[in-house]
Structure formats: structure tokens, C-alpha cells
Structure 1
């Protein structure tokens, strides 16, 4: 019975002696590896909670073992906990026959040294472009850290038995294996059931259209361009074009109040709303009730939120960062700081029925290749090839 070790940039939660996944979606995520491997060991950071959340899913599958790593956030805490993390990792690979490292991930990258030294066959799943992260970093220190991460990711991939990227072509240019008998694939992290897809849209029969914007954690001056959208909507308002925006995502560092204050500063406070965290059902409703999707972003892998948006037939405006060009037509890829062009593209879609419906049709038809059963077949094939190397 082959046991797979997986490590990624995710948190496991601990409460009253039991381990929990963040929510049902993350529970389902780990189950995909058990379609091929008989047992699974998860080596991730663990957060101790005094009170359990109603969204948490108990890890009661006897096939799953949790190998806890002390919690840390950011480089400073990682440095402070460096030796404690090392001690916690000592037995992480024990009993494992193969490994999957989802990168970038501080824990997975450090764990790779043990895996390579032990000669355990492993594969990588690349979900974010560290090189773009370095190019778009806000500080010199952050830029240096991303360059180190990028170099580590290239080295880990070079020695991997298999490499899969969330993009079809973009990430593969930097992250690839040099083994002569390696295997490759590409698939998104998403698992969108066919019922999630809704079809191309008709032009909304409403006076004011609403933009959707989704992030794990909202922030004012963030990599996801929250402030850029507000500036674009302020420009449109001066032209007499009113478009609303709803920012979805967990509040971080009092970001809701900062965003609303920024909107008020630019005269569009009545057009801006922050919804907070949305579960899967709420996200479904949120996208169904929105009209456009806008995501100015500095760096990505292949944004799942864009795939979700176009699966709903939503005309979408984003940036040419990372794998976005594999999802959205070039005309609707706008440079991050180009507020004027962003406003123009939003205006085109919000005021022109033919353009809106044509873009919706193109986006929806493209989204069908990301349906869950299609991606699952690729994952199963990828994990099966890795299992082949288990002695």
C-alpha cells in the first residue's frame, strides 16, 4: 500500500486533540490524491484553535496522517522558528513511498532536501510564478526573497520525476525537470462540477452593473489591484458612467474600512461594498448576481477566480500577468497601473450590448476545458505515473 507525502502552502487546524481541514473544499482537495495512493501523509503548518469554526471539516479519514509543522507567518517568524521547524520535519518522510510538493511553499521547499537525499520519487505541482512575484515585489527585501524562492523551485523541479503546472505553457518555461525519464502535465487546482457552469450571458437589463472581485484576503494596496479598480470607477463616474463593485474575501488588517475610506476619498463610496468571506454556495450566488469580473493583478499562476468567473459567462478584465493570457483575450489584458485603459475596457463592456455578449460567449466556451472531470483525469494520470516509480 503506497503512502504519499504531500506538502503545500496550506494550514491544518488543531482543536481539542483533533485535526481539521479549513473547509469542505480543502477536505475534497486532499481526497484527490487518495484516488491513486492508498495512504496520505500531510506535512503542513498547523494552527491551534481555542474555538473550532463551523466551516472546519474533521480529518477522520484513517488513510490520512497529519505531520504537524509549527505555525509561522512571513520571513521573520520563519527565521525565529527555524530550528523548531527543522526538528518537526525530521521524521516527516518516514514511511513514505513518494511525495508531491506544491510550490511555492516554504515548508515544501525545505522538505525537498530530505526527500531528494533519501531518494524518494517525487513530483511537483507549480501553482504560482515566483519569478513574476520578484519582478512585481513592493520592496527590495521582498524581491530578493522571491528570487531565492524562484531559484529553489527551479532546482527542485529539475530533480523531480514529474512536473505539473496550473498553466498550459507559461509556467513550463521556467519550471521543468531535467530527468531523462520525467513526465509532465498541466491542470488547475479547481474542481468545478458541471452544474457550476451557467452558459453565455445576455446583456444585463439593469441601470447599474456590478463588478465582482475575489481574493482570499482583501487589502487596499494589494497585489490584486483593489485601489486600481476604485480609481478606474472614479474616472468613469466623472464621465457619468456608474458601475458598482463588490470585493469578496476575508478582511485583513481592517481592510474593509480602509477600502471604504479610499472609495469615499475618490467620491464613489456608495458604489463600493465588501462582502467578507464567501463559502462555495455564497460564491456561486455572488458570481451569478454580478455582471463583470475585474482582477488587476501583479502576479499569479492561473487564477482560479478567473476560471470561476468565465464559467459563469462573465466578461472579464485582468492583466497580462503570468498565465492570465491563457484565459482571457488580449484586448482585455490591461497593465496593472494603467487606470485609464482599465476604465475604458470596463466602459466597453458596461455600455455595449453586442460587445458584452460576444465576450461572454468566448469566455464561457473557453472555460469548459476546466470542468472537474477533465482535470481529474489529468491528475489521476499524473499521480499514477508517479506511483509507477514506487519500488
Structure 2
């Protein structure tokens, strides 16, 4: 059976017909669905390029197909291409397919309308909260209030209509976007942590309070809601408190130029380094292992993979208490979003307490184990089996349902 999955990823296609990703969501990501389904069709935007971009990873192949939609970036271009998008989406899913929408998503919403008109059952993977994504402090788009209301209402309606819903959080998204009574629900993250992603042991306590402290943050700089500007604003406060902080940010995007300008305005000199885009996995872990503290200053989050990856390295962390972050860190390590003073105080408190740093390392490493590849693979496979049963076009006999759910099919 084939699974059709909607995605907000933007892919690139070379003249030989191969599809590539520069963001890390490549073929290995989509293979997880093939634990239950024979084939996977990814419905996503695709732009044609004359050659393979440096560092790009292959997306299609080995049972994974990319169904190319017209490429666009931003609401204005979306509206310009809407007639073509609607026509393409109508052909994305066939009657014999199971369908899973990764939401919130403009593409997922288009496909949901097609399924609703056909009366086709579907499943959801809820990976974020549009109410937070389009909050005033997270988005500067002139249509932000309209987009916030529209995406929030659509996601609530989609959750009420879905036959099966998975959430990346354990509680936060479920409270805001409940599934319908009788729907299959489960919680699991999209993260993929193999055994090599985990540190062998927690970090030991330093002999004295830290003065020179190395901070690291990991996030795309495409949108301002990752809050890196707030972390930069906190840096002078750390210096005023007598620390010698340095920050390395891993990730790139269109907001980088403005952040580099802010670094110059705050006279931070070489205290802040932008490492740019780094391949996921081992390359990112080198930056995590070289740091003393991970900082997540986001204005909005679902369940942040970057934070879990840092925790798996036994790295102490300070983060804003948004989305599913309070499910990962203790209250003492959480600060309000958009507050550089509170962020600086939390960093200072950890730097001054070697025992607290060591305890945070041990706690984070243990908590990250809940997101190991083996643990999450079992949860995902159980959900995909239930999705297959709930969305199969022809009703199954009662004596066959148990076989499919248990993996016998």
C-alpha cells in the first residue's frame, strides 16, 4: 500500500529527474514510513536546478517518490500559484492510497480539502502550533493576524476530522488541537537519534564557577521566531556580570545579515560567531561537544529537535518555555520568550553553580533517552499501522484488523 504525505519542505530537481534536499529532510527521513507502507509519495514544492547543489542529499529513490508541486516562497507567491497548486494537489492522492498530512501546512490544507470533498479518511502529524508561529513577536508579515486565525482554525478543524493524529508534544499541542473522540492518537517526535548521537556519560562538575563560558545555539535563520536576536541582546548583560561569554550559532538564513548587524551595534566583536549551515548529525555534534551551555531563545516551538540533540550530548541547556519545551527541561531552566534580561540571569545562575551544571547534564542525557531512535520507531510503527487500518479504502474484516495492527500484514 502507498502512503501519500504532504510536506512543507522545498526541494530541488536536477535535469536527470532526481530530487535533492539542502535542509536535511532527505530519503532517510521518509524511509521511516516504509516500516509499514510499501511506497511513500511525498507531496512538496520542487524547483528545477541545472545541477546538484553542494552538500545536497537525495530525496527520492528506494520506495520514495516526490510528487512535485509548483514552487513558491511566501503568501504572495502562494496566491499567485494557487490555481496551479489546486490542480496539482487534486492528482496527488489516488483512491487506493493512505494519506497523512504533516500540519500546520498550506499544502496539507489544500490536500485536506480534496480529501474532504471525496469523503476520504486521513491521518495527521501535528508538528507545530500556528498560533505561536504567527504571534506578534514571532512574525512581521503584514497578513500575520489573518494567517494566525486562519491556520489555527484550519488545524483545529483538521484534528477534529482526522481518523488518526500524532503530536510531537506529550501535552501542549493536544490541549490546543484535540482529536475527535474515537480517533487514534499518539505522541512522538520527528527526531532521529541513533546510538552515536548520545554521549557516553554526563559531564562532570567543574572545580569552580565558570567565567569563560561557551554558548551554542542551533536554528534556521529564515524566520525571526527563533529568537537569536534575544540571545545576542543578552550577551552584553553577561559581560556586565563579569563573565567572558562566547557564542557560536549553527544555522543560516535570510535573517543572518540583520543579526550580524546587531552584533556590531552591541559591540560584541568576535564574541559571536555564525557558523552557517552545517550538515545534520556528526558535524553539528562537534559544535555541541565544544560548548558549555546550549541556549534555545525561541519565541515559538513545537518540540525542538535541536534541544533534544543537545541534551543527548549531555549539554546543560537554558530555553524559553514555549510549545513543548517545558516537557523537556525543568522549570528552573526556562525563561519567558523575548526577555534578554531573564535569559542572561538564567545563564549566569548556571555558570555560577558547577554542581547545577553537572546535574543538568545528567538530567538532560537521561531525558533525551526517551527520544532514542529505537523508542520512537516503535511508537511511529504502531501509529502507521493504525493509520493504515483507519484509512484503507475497503473496509477490513474484523478478523483482519488485529493482524494489520500487529504487523502481520
TM bucket, shorter chain: over 0.9
Shift of 1:251: 3.6
Q: Which residue is equivalent to 1:369? A: 370
2:236 aligns to what? 234
Aligned residues: 385
Partner of 1:264: 264
Q: 1: distance between equivalents of 2:221 and 2:171?
A: 28
SS in 1 for 2:235: helix
Distance in 2 separating the partners of 1:190 and 1:157: 22
**Aligned mates of 2:20, 2:31 — CA distance in 1:** 12
Alignment of 1:300-339 (within 5 A): 300-339=301-340
Determine the structure 1 residue equivalent to 2:39.
39
Which stretch shows the higher mean deviation, 235-244 or 102-111? 235-244
Structure 2 CA distance, aligned partners of 1:325 and 1:307?
A: 12
Find the counterpart in structure 2 of residue 351 from structure 1. 352
Q: Secondary structure at the match of 2:249?
A: strand
Aligned Cα root-mean-square deviation (Å)? 1.9
The SS at the match of 2:335 is coil
Q: Give the whole-Å Cα distance in 1 for the aligned partners of 2:368 and 2:339.
A: 26
For residue 252 of structure 1, give the secondary structure of its aligned residue in structure 2.
coil
CA distance in 1, matches of 2:225, 2:57: 30
State how far apart, in whole Å, the 1-side matches of 2:292 and 2:69 are.
Answer: 42
Return the offset for 1:373. 0.6
Distance 1:338 1:356 in 2: 22
Whether the 8 Å contact between 2:45 and 2:69 is mirrored in structure 1 is yes
2:276 and 2:102 mapped to 1: Cα distance? 27
Secondary structure of 1:21 counterpart: strand
Separation in 2, partners of 1:207, 1:226: 22
**1:51-72 alpha-carbon deviations (Å, 9 max, x no partner):** 2124333355253332211011
Once the two structures are TM-superposed, the CA of residue 25 in structure 1 deviates from its matched residue by 5.0
C-alpha separation between the residues in 1 aligned to 2:370 and 2:144? Answer: 35
**In 1, Cα distance between the equivalents of 2:2 and 2:227?**
41
Q: What corresponds to 1:104 in structure 2?
A: 104
TM-score w.r.t. structure 1 length? 0.93
| Paired residues of 1:21 and 1:27 also in contact (CA < 8 A) | no
Asked if the contact 2:90–2:111 (Cα under 8 Å) also holds between the matched residues in 1, the reply is: no
Question: Deviating runs (4+, > 6 A) in structure 1?
Answer: none
* SS class of match (2:8): coil
Q: C-alpha distance in 1, partners of 2:294/2:286?
A: 14
The structural deviation recorded for 1:197 is 0.8
Q: Cα distance 1:93–1:228, how it changes in 2: closer, same or farther (>3 A)?
A: same
Give the whole-Å Cα distance in 2 for the aligned partners of 1:72 and 1:315.
39
Task: Give the gaps of 5 or more residues in structure 2.
Answer: 395-409
Counterparts of 1:193 and 1:105, CA distance in 2: 28
Cα distance between partner residues in 2 of 1:132 and 1:57? 30
1:269 is displaced (CA, Å) by 1.6
Residue 76, structure 1, aligned to residue 80, structure 2: no
Give the Cα–Cα distance (whole angstroms) in 2 for the partners of residues 157 and 331 of structure 1.
33
Given candidates 157, 173, 176, the residue that maps to 1:174 is 176
Listed one character per residue, the Cα deviations across residues 328-356 of structure 1 (whole Å, up to 9, x for unaligned) are: 11111111232222111111222321111
In structure 2, distance between residues paired with 1:82 and 1:230:
39
